């Protein structure tokens, strides 16, 4: 299928068959070239156990195909029919208080329950047999947004899976007691089957971490199980649509799938948060990701919490995933539901079939995709800067937050925003990603380096000539979030010749910190203080607030092999982050783009040439300086020296 393309989520089971031809005709007018279907239609596919009715679905797939609209087919395991719950009431998630979820929602069944797994296997096999060889099915979506949003099942199957997980992880209960420090509060256990899940007690954080991990593993295994079944019947790529949270772990989930799928619903105020995720998604697989859901207008699940977005927002929101490494953007949903759930959610058509006010932006985006298709398909995002965002850090901070709130992701995103504002396009990478080809690696708050071979990779990267900026609360815990007892940091104290003396919570009212050039260093929340034992250059230090702290290093620069480490022990305000990064850019030989406004500059290169995709995301004028001449593939304009953008402007620039 020609890329990039626009798609939509379409629910033909919700509409009378007589609406199909009209919907398809309007999809063609909008430039929609792919429809996601089937993800919630289990009952219509299998109205009774083992009785399959796929005729209606074949008619839809065939009609779409005849119109030149491809299909991404969803497995419907998020919404089992009532006959399953009637036959096996234990398929529903069991809460801490012993009550169970009920039929009528979605993602309300237990991924460890054998009855649910068996029924899911059967419908996936049946779908694979029916549609696996269908040439119009270009991909498969497994389930829908599989994540226990704070609700982990407590049924007997989940508890057993949890205990089995602990046996694999620790070997013996004595080893677990020792690693979890269960002498504290007399918490030690004699058998694995005595260890509770995360009920309502003030449990050991390592228990809470493993309880959550066991459930994430079950959901990941459930998706991989479905993928293995479908591969018996199809060669089309398989993925599962995930939301912007790294609790479950994108690397673990997507490692055994073919394509990364992502759903997001952002507003003008946080549009660059979506940019952060796109910078991450493209690093997970060696193929473009699919942005499987976003709104044309507003999100409104049960109530509208947003207002009218400025003209151009839909267009730039639709361009961002493609600019940043995806090959499609799909809207949720095609036609607004006429009854039932999510009646106020934005769409492409209203319930009566009329185009929404952003329809023209949808159509314009489709036309622009066509104009730039050769360049986009023939290039990839090009960068020599990486920013760490690790699943294990997310999980550890989840269970032992250090500070209130979900500040870990917010802190990484703050650094990411500073990079964008400074004209840098980073790859956001997980712990398993290779560091080859990067000049600069920035690691905000990577709590543990005991994450696969991460420590060894970082050492080699630096010793081979790379520059590593390590932020606060990096390398301060082991793989389960416990402190080291013979040192403050896992590898960095010995490696850099330093000693971490103190970790200080601060709001800036007492602790005084200063750059060596005399400028004040604005610290928020936290500052780690170091002593240089064997050299190293002090970039910032404590200058007041407590006599025991004065003179302690807060930011230092250390030469290691052919490279260097800049160790920043403090959470910083935006201006100081920018200053720190500018030092790192200079040391690493990284050249930022000179921009004005809020501009996403996306360098791309490949067999189709070199150039930039530019997306303005703050609804204000912007510009970027360039060397030589570039031509905008969307308008035909050629620019030299500087390229201007209008509010929410998009340009696809190719070197002349």
What letters, b where the CB count within 10 A reaches 16 and e where it falls short, cover 516-541? eeeeebebebbbbbbbbeeebebbbb
Are both 403 and 525 inside the same structural domain? yes
**In a domain? residue 537:** yes
Please give the Cα distance from 613 to 91 (Å, whole number).
48
CA distance 258 to 387: 24
Average pLDDT of adjacent 10-residue blocks, the chain of 656 residues: 96 96 98 98 98 98 98 98 97 93 92 98 98 98 84 94 98 98 95 90 90 96 98 98 92 97 92 95 98 95 92 98 98 96 95 98 98 98 98 92 84 96 98 98 97 98 98 97 96 97 93 97 95 94 96 97 98 97 98 97 98 98 97 98 98 95
Q: Are residues 552 and 573 in the same domain?
A: yes
Orientation of helix 205-230 relative to helix 156-170, angle to 10°: 100
Same structural domain for residues 576 and 604? no
Give the CA angle between residues 507, 512, 517 to the nearest 5°: 125
Q: Is residue 239 part of a domain?
A: no
Rounded to the nearest 5°, which phi and psi values hold at 435?
A: -100, 5
State how far Cα 420 lies from the chain centre.
18
| Domain end call among 553, 573, 588 | 588
Longest alpha-carbon distance in the chain: 80
* Residue 393 · residue 470 · CB < 8 Å: no
- List Cβ neighbours of 509 (8 Å cut-off, separation of 6 or more): none
Give dist(CA 602, CA 608) in Å, integer: 15
Q: Domain range for residue 573?
A: 385-588
Q: Note whether residue 59 is domain-resident.
A: no
Within 8 A by CB and 6+ apart from 49, the residues are 83, 84, 87, 119
Q: How far is CA 621 from CA 308, 315, 595, 642, in A?
A: 20, 16, 11, 13
Helix 55-66 / helix 20-30 crossing angle, nearest 10 deg: 30
For β-strands 440-443 and 498-506, DSSP reports them as unpaired
**Helix-helix angle 20-30:359-377, to 10 degrees:** 60
Backbone CA torsion sign across 416, 417, 422, 425: positive
**For residues 364, 370, 374 and 379, what is the CA-based torsion angle, rounded to 10 degrees?**
40
Residues 410, 393: one domain?
yes
Residue 223's Cβ-side half-sphere holds a number of Cα atoms within 13 Å equal to 33
Query: Is the domain of 506 the same as that of 603?
Result: no
DSSP state at residue 5: E
pLDDT at 508: 86
Residue 437 in any domain: the answer is yes
In 3-state terms, the chain is what percent helix, strand and coil (to 5)? 35, 25, 45
Which of 287, 277, 279 lies closest to 236, judged by CA?
A: 287
**Rounded Cα gap, residues 314 and 310, in angstroms:** 9
How many structural domains are present in the chain? 2
Residue 177, domain member (yes or no): no
Place of tokens 């509060």: 185
Quote the CA–CA distance of 7 and 630 in Å, as a whole number: 30
Q: Are residues 481 and 552 in the same domain?
A: yes
Tell the residue number behind the tokens 């899911």, with chain if given.
120
pLDDT reported for residue 199: 74
Residue 456's domain is classified under what CATH number? 3.40.50.880
**Cα separations in angstroms, 597 against 122, 130, 624:** 54, 52, 9
Whether 498 maps to a domain, the answer reads yes
Distance CA 609, CA 443 (A): 32
SS3 of residue 320 by DSSP: helix
The whole-number pLDDT of residue 378 equals: 98
Cβ neighbours of residue 582 closer than 8 Å, sequence gap 6 or more: 422
Q: Which of 542, 563, 588 finishes a domain? A: 588
Q: What is the pLDDT of residue 163?
A: 98
Same domain, 530 and 651: no
For residue 333, cis peptide bond before it (omega within 30 degrees of 0): yes
Nearest-angstrom CA–CA distance, 246 and 235: 28
Tokens representing 634?
């969307």
Q: Is position 310 within any domain? A: no
Kindly report the backbone phi and psi dihedral angles of residue 35, in degrees, each rounded to the nearest multiple of 5, phi listed first. -125, 130
Q: In 3-state terms, what secondary structure has residue 116? A: helix
Residues 499, 519, single domain; the answer is yes
Q: What is the DSSP letter of 528?
A: E
pTM of the complete model: 0.97
Residue 25 within a domain? no
Give the span between the Cα atoms of 600 and 419, in whole angstroms.
Answer: 10
One domain for residues 581 and 611: no
Q: Are residues 389 and 487 in the same domain?
A: yes
Indicate if 457 and 557 belong to the same structural domain: yes
Question: Any idea what the CATH number is for the domain that residue 651 is in?
Answer: 2.60.40.1180
Same domain, 584 and 601: no
Task: Identify the pLDDT of residue 202.
Answer: 84
Q: What is residue 150's predicted lDDT score, i.e. its pLDDT?
A: 61
């Amino acid at each position: 299928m020609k890329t990039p393309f626009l798609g939509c989520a379409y629910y033909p089971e919700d509409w009378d068959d007589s609406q199909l031809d009209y919907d398809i005709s309007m999809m063609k007018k909008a430039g929609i070239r792919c429809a996601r279907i089937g993800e919630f239609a289990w009952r219509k596919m299998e109205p009774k156990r083992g009785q399959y009715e796929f005729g209606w679905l074949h008619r839809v797939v065939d009609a779409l195909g005849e119109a030149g609209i491809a299909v991404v087919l969803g497995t419907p395991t998020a919404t089992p029919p009532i006959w399953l719950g009637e036959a096996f009431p234990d398929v529903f998630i069991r809460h801490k208080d012993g009550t169970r979820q009920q039929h009528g929602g979605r993602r309300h069944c237990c991924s460890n329950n054998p009855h649910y797994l068996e029924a899911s296997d059967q419908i996936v096999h049946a779908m694979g047999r029916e549609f696996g060889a269908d040439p119009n099915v270009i991909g498969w979506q497994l389930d829908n947004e599989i994540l226990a949003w704070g609700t982990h099942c407590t049924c007997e199957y989940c508890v057993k899976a949890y205990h089995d997980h602990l046996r694999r992880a620790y070997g013996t209960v004595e080893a677990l007691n020792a690693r979890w420090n269960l002498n504290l509060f007399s918490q030690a256990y004699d058998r694995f089957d005595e260890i509770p899940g995360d009920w309502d007690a003030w449990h050991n954080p390592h228990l809470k971490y493993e309880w959550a991990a066991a459930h994430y593993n079950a959901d990941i295994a459930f998706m991989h199980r479905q993928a293995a079944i479908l591969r018996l019947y199809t060669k089309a790529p398989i993925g599962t649509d995930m939301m912007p949270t790294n609790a479950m772990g994108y690397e673990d989930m997507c490692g055994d799938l073919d394509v990364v799928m992502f759903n997001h619903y952002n507003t003008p105020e946080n549009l660059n948060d979506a940019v952060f995720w796109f910078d991450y998604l493209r690093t997970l697989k060696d193929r473009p990701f699919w942005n499987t859901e976003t709104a044309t207008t507003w999100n409104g699940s049960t109530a509208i919490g947003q207002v009218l977005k400025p003209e151009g927002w839909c267009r730039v929101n639709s361009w961002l995933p493609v600019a940043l490494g995806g090959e499609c953007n799909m809207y949720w949903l095609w036609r607004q539901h006429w009854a039932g759930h999510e009646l106020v959610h934005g769409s492409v058509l209203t319930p009566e079939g009329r185009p929404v006010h952003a329809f023209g932006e949808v159509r314009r985006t489709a036309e622009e995709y066509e104009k730039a298709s050769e360049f986009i398909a023939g290039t990839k995002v090009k960068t020599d800067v990486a920013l760490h965002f690790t699943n294990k850090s997310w999980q550890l901070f989840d269970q032992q937050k250090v500070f209130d709130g979900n500040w870990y992701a917010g802190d990484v995103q703050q650094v990411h925003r500073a990079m964008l504002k400074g004209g840098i396009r980073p790859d956001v990478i997980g712990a398993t990603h290779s560091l080859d080809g990067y000049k600069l690696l920035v690691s905000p708050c990577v709590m543990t380096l005991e994450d696969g071979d991460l420590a060894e990779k970082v050492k080699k990267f630096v010793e081979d000539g790379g520059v590593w900026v390590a932020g606060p609360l990096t390398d301060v815990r082991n793989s389960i979030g416990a402190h080291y007892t013979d040192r403050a940091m896992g590898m960095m104290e010995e490696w850099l010749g330093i000693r971490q003396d103190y970790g200080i919570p601060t709001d800036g009212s007492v602790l005084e910190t200063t750059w060596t050039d005399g400028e004040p260093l604005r610290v928020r929340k936290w500052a780690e203080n170091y002593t240089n034992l064997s050299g190293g250059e002090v970039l910032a230090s404590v200058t007041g607030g407590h006599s025991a702290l004065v003179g302690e290093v807060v930011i230092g620069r250390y030469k290691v092999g052919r490279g260097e480490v800049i160790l920043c022990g403090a959470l910083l305000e935006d201006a100081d982050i920018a200053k720190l990064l500018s030092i790192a850019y200079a040391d690493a030989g990284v050249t930022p783009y000179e921009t004005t406004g809020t501009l996403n500059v996306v360098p791309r290169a490949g067999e189709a040439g070199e150039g930039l995709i530019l997306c303005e995301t703050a609804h204000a004028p912007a510009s970027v300086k360039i060397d030589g001449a570039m031509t905008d593939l969307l308008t035909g304009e050629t620019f030299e020296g500087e390229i201007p953008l209008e509010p929410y402007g998009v340009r696809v620039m190719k070197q002349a």
